[in-house]
């Protein structure tokens, strides 16, 4: 078996107070294999960083090292944007990661490190503790690598024995009629090309609003690190998770497995975009035209996947929903290179939607849509009293509530709402009307 390759991460431009400690850790790590980043422990390396190389050259070299590493070990006591980025990148590369933290230093560890399940976090007091923690971690990792090597040999030998020569998936077998089916298609922001996709199954939800994606959306804006997540409204199960890095590059960490675009065959038919598609807009590209740009870009992305057999199979069932999300892993100054567009395909049960219960003689009109300042509500032949008008954002949070009278026309001021997509609800005794509007 080849020598273990270890990527050690420690603060450089964030401060060199622990340089001597880094040197001791690296010396100990070299007993196990090659430390690709041994320069982190050099005393002559100051907070100015490596002056002999440009930032572009350092980035390219370190990304290559990260990609080739078997393990990543990071000393995270001294806060560092660079170390945080390296950890996030290592997660996206499915590396095993050990983070070492010294509580007595007085530093507070970021929740993005302590709360991350993809990281092994250990606290220590001295270098003796560090050596024991590294010994336990690397011995466990070595066993994993050996076991994985054997597994890979068996895996590929098995396929060779059965004459496997078609990497494309039978997409109809990916769809379960007894489950909620969720596909996430990842698209390149610049080229509009389909990159990869994930298909997962979850328990059916007969009580969810089938007119919209059953998502609860959480967003933590990045101070140094941030996060966005979608949870299933039925049971709060994570459906999608991605990190956001200020002046760095985050990564999608859930779903944790994707198949490349080459795995998905094409269809002879073009699937039209459903009229009830949801545009999960948030202002990450405000300088590019806001929501109109977001919608136009999303529609273009759909054209790039509308001939996939996977899309056709999803559309063949009942209650397919489509959602679009722009994901910018680099926050601060927008970097289009790592940016992605995500298309969510949702196929649920065949239960009839209960989105609206409106007496047959009643007529409701709400306009304009999209709007920037107000919504006009017209009620005709509506005898229900004490109607309430409510507005909810995509996370389900109530943003606005007003009482309606039975007059023919009334106006709701929405200037206080941020730009985005909202769901409104008009509710009274035996009366329920739901739909969506866009605030520019």
> pLDDT by residue (tens digit) across 5-59?
899 999 998 888 888 899 999 988 888 889 999 999 888 888 888 888 888 888 8
* Contact predicate 229/172, CB 8 Å: no
pLDDT at 283 (0 to 100): 59
- Could you give the C-alpha distances from 373 to 1, 387, 414, in angstroms and in order? 67, 22, 5
Could you tell me the two tokens for 322?
A: 């489509």
What is the domain partition of the chain in residue ranges?
A: 4-144, 171-347, 363-439
- Residue 142: pLDDT band (50, 70, 90) is very low
Chain-centroid distance of CA 204 in Å reads: 22
Q: Which pLDDT band holds residue 149 (cuts at 50, 70, 90)?
A: very low
Q: Is the model's pLDDT at 399 over the cut of 60?
A: yes
Please, where are the H alpha helices in 278-407? 290-305, 309-315
One of 3.40.50.970, 3.40.50.300, 3.40.50.450, 1.10.490.10 is the CATH number of 4-144, namely 3.40.50.450
Name every residue whose Cβ is closer than 8 Å to that of residue 236 and which is 6 or more positions away in sequence.
Answer: 216
Contacts of residue 327, Cβ cutoff 8 Å, sequence gap at least 6: 228, 242, 252, 339, 340, 341, 342
Give 306-334 pLDDT, tens digit per residue.
999 999 988 876 567 899 998 888 877 77
What is the pLDDT of the chain when averaged over all its residues? 80
pLDDT interval class at 135 (50, 70, 90): confident
Give the Cβ contact number of residue 315 at 10 Å. Answer: 18
pLDDT at 1 over 70: no
Helix (H), strand (E) at residue 103: none
Specify the CATH class of 363-439 in words: mainly beta
Band (289; pLDDT cuts 50, 70, 90): low
Determine contact, residues 355/211, Cβ cutoff 8 Å.
Answer: yes
The answer on pLDDT for 195 being more than 90 is yes
**Across 143-150, average pLDDT:** 36
pLDDT at 99: 93
Which pLDDT does position 254 carry in this prediction? Answer: 92
Residue 343 has what pLDDT? Answer: 95
**Token match 């919209």: residue?**
212
Report pLDDT digits (tens) over 330-346: 877 777 888 899 999 98
Beta-carbon contacts of 295 under 8 Å, excluding residues fewer than 6 positions away, are: 279, 281
**Nearest to 359, CA basis, from 435, 412, 428:** 428
Q: In DSSP terms, which residues pair with 95 in a beta bridge?
A: none
Confidence (pLDDT) at 350: 40
Task: Of 58-67, 166-175, 232-241, give the lowest mean pLDDT range.
Answer: 166-175
Measured CA to CA, the distance from residue 363 to residue 181 in angstroms comes to 35
- The per-residue pLDDT for 355 is 45
Answer for the pair 200, 182: CB distance below 8 angstroms, yes or no: yes
* Per-residue pLDDT, 204: 78
Answer yes or no: are the C-beta atoms of 96 and 72 closer than 8 Å: yes
**251 pLDDT more than 70:** yes
Which pLDDT band, with edges at 50, 70 and 90, does 215 fall under? confident
DSSP H/E element including 184? strand 180-188
Least trusted range by pLDDT, from 64-78, 161-175, 250-264, 385-399: 161-175
Mean pLDDT along residues 356-372:
73
Rounded Cα gap, residues 421 and 437, in angstroms: 6
Q: The tokens of 54 are what?
A: 């440009």
């Amino acid at each position: 078996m080849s020598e273990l390759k270890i990527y050690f991460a420690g603060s450089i431009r964030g401060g060199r107070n622990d340089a001597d400690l880094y040197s001791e850790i690296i010396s100990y790590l070299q007993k196990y294999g090659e430390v690709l980043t041994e320069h982190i422990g050099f005393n002559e390396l100051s907070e100015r960083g490596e002056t002999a190389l440009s930032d572009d050259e350092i980035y390219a070299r370190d990304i290559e090292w990260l990609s080739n590493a078997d393990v990543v070990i990071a000393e995270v006591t001294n806060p560092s944007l660079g170390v945080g980025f390296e950890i996030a990148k290592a997660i996206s590369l499915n590396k095993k990661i050990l983070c070492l933290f010294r509580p007595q230093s007085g530093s507070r560890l970021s929740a993005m490190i302590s709360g991350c399940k993809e990281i092994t976090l250990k606290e220590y007091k001295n270098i003796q503790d560090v050596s024991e923690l590294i010994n336990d971690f690397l011995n466990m990792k070595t066993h994993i690598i050996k076991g994985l090597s054997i597994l890979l040999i068996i895996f590929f030998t098995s396929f060779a024995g059965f004459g496997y020569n078609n990497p494309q998936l039978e997409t109809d077998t990916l769809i379960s009629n007894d489950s909620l089916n969720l596909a996430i298609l990842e698209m390149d922001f610049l080229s509009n090309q389909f990159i990869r996709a994930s298909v997962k199954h979850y328990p059916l939800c007969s009580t969810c609003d089938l007119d919209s994606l059953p998502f609860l959306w959480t967003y933590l804006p990045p101070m140094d690190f941030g996060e966005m997540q979608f949870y299933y409204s039925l049971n709060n199960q994570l459906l999608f998770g991605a990190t956001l890095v200020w002046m760095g590059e985050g990564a999608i960490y859930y779903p944790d497995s994707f198949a490349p675009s080459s795995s998905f065959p094409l269809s002879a038919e073009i699937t039209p975009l459903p009229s009830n598609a949801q545009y999960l807009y948030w202002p990450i590209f405000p300088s590019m035209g806001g929501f109109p740009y977001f919608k136009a870009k999303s529609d273009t992305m759909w054209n790039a996947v509308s001939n996939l057999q996977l899309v056709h199979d999803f559309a063949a069932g009942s209650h397919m929903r489509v959602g679009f999300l722009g994901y910018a892993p680099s926050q601060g100054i927008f970097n289009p290179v790592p940016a992605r567009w995500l298309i969510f395909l949702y196929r649920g049960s065949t239960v009839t939607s209960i989105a609206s219960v409106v007496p047959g003689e009643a007529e409701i009109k709400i306009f304009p849509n999209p709007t920037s300042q107000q919504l006009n509500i017209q009620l005709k032949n509506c005898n229900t009293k004490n109607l309430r008008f409510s507005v909810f954002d995509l996370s389900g949070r109530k943003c606005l509530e007003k009482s309606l009278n039975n007059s023919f026309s009334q106006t709701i001021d929405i200037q206080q709402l941020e730009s985005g997509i909202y769901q409104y609800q008009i509710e009274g005794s035996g009366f329920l009307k739901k739909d969506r509007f866009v605030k520019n």
